[in-house]
Structures are given as C-alpha cells and as structure tokens.
Amino acid sequence: MANIAAKDVAALRKITGAGMMDCKKALGETEGDIEAAKTWLREKGLAAAAKRTGRDATQGSIVVAQNDDVAVVLELCCETDFVAKGQGFLDFAQQLADQALNNGAELASQKFGDTDETVDEAIKALAGSLGENISLGRVERFESSTGLLDVYLHVQAERGVLGVIVEIDGVDKDSDAAKQTAHDVALHIASAAPRYVTDDQVPQSEIEAEREVVAIQAAGEGKPDNVTAKIVEGRMKSFLKEIVLVDQPYIRDTSVTVGKLVSQLGPDAKVSRFARVKIGEN
C-alpha cells in the first residue's frame, strides 16, 4: 500500500467532503491516486457524506412485505419527495423490506442481496448516486406461527407514506371473516393512529401527566369539587379512547369499538399487537 501523506488526505477531504478516515482508506485503496480515490468515494457513496449528513431526511417512502408467518413495514428516508417516488429509490426500499422479511429486521450489517457490501454501505452508495441524505428509518417486523397478520400500505403521491402491521390471535388464520376483520383493523389503525392496544399498556407516567393537565383545566371552570372530579374522570376516559385501540370507536361503524369488532370472531379473538409507521413521524 502506498504511503499516504496527511496533506493528500486533507486535499481529498476538501474536494469531496468525505470523512478523514474514509479519505485515507480511499487513497490507500487507490495507491494514493487522488482522482481514482474521488471515484472510489463516489462509488461507495461517501463523497460529500459530511455535507449531506447535516440535511434533514424528512421525506421518504414506506414499503411492506408479507408471507404467511412474517410481515414487515420499512421506512427509507430521504430529503425530497422527488427522490422518494423515484423508481430506483422505491425498488431499493422494497429490496430491503424483502430482505428483512427473510433475514430479520437488523439490516445494517447484513450483506445487501447478493453483493459483497453491507446494507449500510449500499445505502451510502445510493446516497452518493442521488446526492441526498438517505437513511434507514423504522423497520417493524412481526413473526407469528399462530396469529393472523395483516399489512396495509397507504399510497400518496406515487409512494407509500404510511404502513401498518396488525396481529390478531385466537382466530382461524384461514377464515375469510378473520382476514377481512384483520384488514379492517389495519385500515382503522392507519386512520385513527392509536398508540396502545389496551389501556393497561399505557405508561402510568403518561396517565398521570394527562390527569394533571385535565385537573388544572377543570379546576379553572369554577365548578363544585364533586362536579370537577367527575369532569376529570370523564375527560380521562375520553383521553384513553383516543389512544387505546380496542376502546376506539371503529371508523366504519362508530356504534362498536374495535375490541367489540374483533371479539365477534370468537371468544379468544383479540388484537395482540400492531405497528404504525408514517413518513416523518417517530
């Protein structure tokens, strides 16, 4: 390997915006040839990486993948909707989702497809070719041999912007009624944005914080103490209905809750878990 001078590393870093260690590695790989090193950095998606890193990747695309026992929702983030709906970007995201389906959700260190580079390296290369800050967002992967899984993808402006996975236990996985209900629940989750399946999953700290706010608001209304207490309890029930899936009125028939809808499938039927991934949300 060529003897790499610090001044050459600094020069390459100034030209490309890549990190110092990446520049040193590039020069080492190319026997100190700066022009070849520039090409090497571009191919690896590292050129101008430092400049791109500071830019917000608030756009992107959601993709889904599913087989009988596994379902995946994956978010690939970028800076602009123009890139997010590009076919190359969408195909890359779908390949990642398919890989997560087969190999697990911890993608970064996995080999990307049949290549010798890791997923992390492939993402950097894509960022280099597209000139945007691109990053892997949330990857939700559910695997179940007994539960019924369903996925829903909401497409807008030529790319997926919201994805949902839901699992229902205690039902016949081959039942058309169960499949339809699972999909209905997935659609409901996309629209209503619950945060928990049941009220016992809501952290006590969150309940206490909300109760404090509600109590202050109610106290300012000048009602007698006994009336104020009832107001607080009523508003807390409303709060839980907003965030707890099984207590939410079903969007297509508000006379029943989601919990009641699922219970119609049988005495053991229940929503066991869900994930909701939307572009730009944590």
Q: In this predicted model, what pLDDT tens digit does every residue of 24-79 receive, in sequence order? A: 888 888 888 888 888 787 666 665 554 555 555 679 999 999 998 999 999 999 99
Within 1-147, strands assigned E span: 59-66, 70-78, 135-143
Reported as type and span, the H/E element at residue 180 is: helix 176-192
For 8, 35, 91, 210, 230, the CA distances from 71, given in Å and listed in that order, are: 48, 45, 18, 34, 43
User: Which residue numbers in the chain have pLDDT < 70?
Assistant: 1-2, 14-19, 42-57, 282
Look up the domain containing 236 and give its range. Answer: 203-243
Is residue 92 located within the same domain as residue 160?
Answer: yes
State how beta strands 70-78 and 135-143 pair. Answer: antiparallel
- Residue 45 inside a domain? The answer is yes
Is residue 22 located within the same domain as residue 126?
Answer: no
For the chain, the domain total comes to 3
Q: What pLDDT, on a 0 to 100 scale, did the predictor assign at position 133?
A: 87
Is residue 152 located within the same domain as residue 208?
Answer: no
Rg (CA), the chain: 25
Q: Which two tokens stand for residue 195?
A: 């945060």
